[in-house]
Amino acid sequence: MKRHYQSVSVGRADAGYTILLDGRPVKTPARVTLAVPNAPLAEAVAAEWSAQGETIKPAEMHLTAFATTALDKGSDRKQSVVQTLAGYAATDLLCYRAESPAELARRQEERWQPILDWLALTFDAPLTVTKGILPVPQPEASLRAIRAALERLDGLHLVPTATIVDQLGSTALGLAVAHRRISAEEAIALSHIDDDYQADLWGWDAEAATRRRAVAAEVAAAETFLRLLDA
């Protein structure tokens, strides 16, 4: 889509802070006025629109996408999103440890277990850890507690949190970033312990490195959205 506007600004409305293109409010795909709760987030969303060249590239507008998705689908799809994210917890990446080599197993134990300990203490949701890749049942009480924690998030918080969980394959990491236990950069590193170990031995594969950069961009944008939302 070609850029059709000259100026970008932030306005005020009953719904919150709006993004104005040549004085007109941006609409979501569902034709809802794009509005966010505070000025810092609105300014950041507006900056994405300002940064567009002659052609608008939605794939580069992560903050805008989080806000529009939350406004258009946050309420209607909340339960299905929560159910999906709780499903990740049932097979959470951090619960599946290598049996060998010993160095990889050590790294996983040293770096992953503190996150699971935090999850258990914060949400009363201990998860079972196993060796290997065969599925292990998780305590139903823990999965209910995680589901309840996710249900407490409103749409604007849930959408970026869902992106983190989906990109990293871990509800524990998604909640840890959302609740500021760890940064996006730390979460990405934790989710790639296995890859980093292999890279230490054999070097980085170009395709894997490209995928990791894409994941890092998505997760970093989700963290930025969450931090600005709570500013």
Write out pLDDT tens, residues 147-156: 999 999 999 9
Task: Indicate which CATH number applies to the domain containing 96.
Answer: 1.10.3580.10
- CA dist 33 and 111 (Å) reads 43
Amino acid (1-letter code) at residue 86: A
User: Which phi and psi (to 5°) does residue 11 adopt?
Assistant: -120, 180
Mean pLDDT of 16-36: 96
- CA dist 165 and 215 (Å) reads 11
Task: Indicate which CATH number applies to the domain containing 52.
Answer: 3.30.2180.10
pTM over the 0.85 mark: yes
Residues 82 and 68 in one domain: no
Q: According to DSSP H, which parts of 7-101 are helical?
A: 39-50, 62-73, 78-90
- Mean pLDDT of all residues belonging to the chain: 94
Write out pLDDT tens, residues 125-155: 999 999 988 999 999 999 999 999 999 999 9
Among the candidates 38, 72, 106, a domain finishes at: 72
Tell me what pLDDT residue 43 has: 98
- CA dist 93 and 109 (Å) reads 12
Measured between alpha carbons, how far is residue 21 from residues 88, 93, 105, 106, 177 in Å? Answer: 39, 42, 53, 53, 32
Helix (H, G, I), strand (E, B) or coil at 133: coil
Tell me what pLDDT residue 29 has: 93
Question: Which domain range does residue 152 map to?
Answer: 78-229
In a domain, 84, yes or no: yes
Residues 124 and 207 in one domain: yes
Residues 223 and 175 in one domain: yes
Write out pLDDT tens, residues 195-207: 899 888 887 788 8
Percent of the chain past pLDDT 70, that is, above it, reads 100
Residues 95 and 209 in one domain: yes
Q: How many domains does the chain have?
A: 2
Helix (H, G, I), strand (E, B) or coil at 39: helix
Three-state secondary structure readout of 12-38: EECCEEEEEECCEECECCCCCECEECC
Residues 39 and 104 in one domain: no
